[in-house]
Amino acid sequence: MAGSRPFACACLALLAGCLVGALSGCQRQPRFVPASADSALVSPRDSLEQEVRRLRERWDAPGQGEEAARVTAQLLLRDLRARLALEPRGSWDQRARDLLDSLDVGAEVAGAPCAMLVNLFARSNPSAGSWPWAFWCGPGGIVAQPVEGQGAGLVSVSARGLFGDPPVPPGPPGLAALFARRTGGGQQPLLMVWRVAGERLEPAQTLGADSLGVVGTGVFESEGDSVVVLATRTWRYTPRFDECATCPHVLRLRRFRWGPEGFRRVDERIVPSPYVSFVQLIQALTAGDRDAALQVVASPGLVESARRADWAVVRGPWRVAPGSEAGAGEMVFYRGSDEAWKVRFVRRGEDWLVDSFEPTARAIQ
């Protein structure tokens, strides 16, 4: 619910300040009243009430989600156009949240200067699907259209070439949206980019798991005022390790710069952590790569100690003890059905090194 409780229990502004959703006794069912004298709305009250009633019926009807989203988006577009005529600097995304919340329509909203995406769904049945709509500054004012990304969660939005003179950030006019699709291991990032062609959006680029990573998160960042960057932190399951969705993982940081030809990867590296160093040690030992093993230990003798402990032998999957944190300076690792090892780490610069290890008792699970 957007806003404070007194605000939600009083009057929610609807349709460019022309209707008031009076929540009787703080109920969710709005009661519409005539437009006030300073309203920008020209539709009669009865006609609008019928439109809203039909909208709610569509959201409640099976198989009508796409049509309900279209009607909702058009209603929101009319409201935004009227509102911006009165308040040119008004917030699009906050206005959208207020209106959609008062209509009892589920929505994820993300905005940028002169751009916004609204991912619409039935609040009574969120699992039935979602339908994203884009709003942006066209040549004659704000325009909207449906875009790809149905069924995915909306994370964030970025835009360029739409706001300011000269535009900031500069570049060919375009919108970029980061979505997340649910998988067995968690959320999988999905980037979609559109070029602005007047009052239409045209698909320009799509990046999925092969580029962004299998499971994880992402965020749009800026390099000064001129460059937009997408940064993702993602992971995939590690061979010889049993990793749950909430367990520590080997995270990869990837950065993609938005240039004239779209988003291009400019950096990729593993995010240092104690867990990562232990994984790298086991992988180096099982591969017989002594030089690689030496890179992740505090003293050379630890490599031979690990060999004597048969860490170079593949016996069973490794996994961290329940409740372990990826950044902990001391972690317990299990191997197979009976081994348990307490491993300590020391920090060297940005990296972590294995400092010591010893057998320990397994916790009762």
Domain assignment present for 76: yes
* 93 domain residue, yes or no: no
Q: Which of 94, 120, 109, 88 is nearest to 13 (CA)?
A: 94
| Tokens 């916790």 belong to residue | 363
Residues 6+ apart with CB under 8 A from 137: 114, 115, 162, 163
Same domain, 196 and 113: yes
Distance (Å, rounded) from C-alpha 324 to C-alpha 172? Answer: 46
Q: Mean pLDDT per segment of 10 residues, for the chain of length 365 residues?
A: 34 38 37 38 63 88 94 95 88 94 94 95 91 94 95 96 83 95 90 95 96 96 88 95 92 96 96 97 97 97 97 94 89 94 96 97 75
Q: CA angle at residue 253 from 131 to 349, to 5 degrees?
A: 150
What pLDDT is recorded for position 34? 34
Could you tell me if 126 and 209 lie in one domain?
yes
Same domain, 78 and 117: no
Residue 212 is assigned to a structural domain of this protein? yes
Phi, psi at 363, each rounded to 5°? -75, 150
Q: Are residues 283 and 266 in the same domain?
A: no
- β-pairing, 11-14 vs 19-23, is antiparallel
Report the candidate in 195, 150, 162, 199 with the shortest Cα–Cα distance to residue 176. 195
Same domain, 298 and 188: no
Q: How many domains does the chain have?
A: 3
CA gap 135, 142 in Å, rounded: 7
Same domain, 141 and 226: yes
Element (H, E) at 102: helix 92-102
Residue 100 lies in a domain: no
Same domain, 7 and 120: no
Q: Please indicate, yes or no, whether residues 119 and 198 belong to a single structural domain of this protein.
A: yes
Domain carrying residue 115 = 105-271
Q: What is the pTM of this model?
A: 0.82
Is residue 116, in this structure, part of any structural domain at all? yes
Are both 246 and 287 inside the same structural domain? no
For residue 356, give the H/E element and its range. Answer: strand 351-359
In the prediction, which pLDDT does 169 show?
Answer: 80
Instruction: Find residue 264's DSSP bridge partners.
Output: 257
**Residue where a domain stops, chosen among 244, 271, 298:** 271
Asked whether the beta carbons of 135 and 92 are under 8 A apart, the reply is: yes
pLDDT at 295: 97
Inter-residue contact 135 to 118 (CB < 8 Å): yes
266 and 282 housed in the same domain: no
112 and 252 part of one domain: yes
The answer to whether residues 212 and 67 belong to one domain is no
> Looking at the domain assignment, is residue 94 inside a domain?
no
Q: What is the dihedral of CA 99, 102, 105, 110, to 10 degrees?
A: 40
Give the per-residue pLDDT at 226.
83
> Which of these three, 271, 287, 312, is where a domain ends?
271
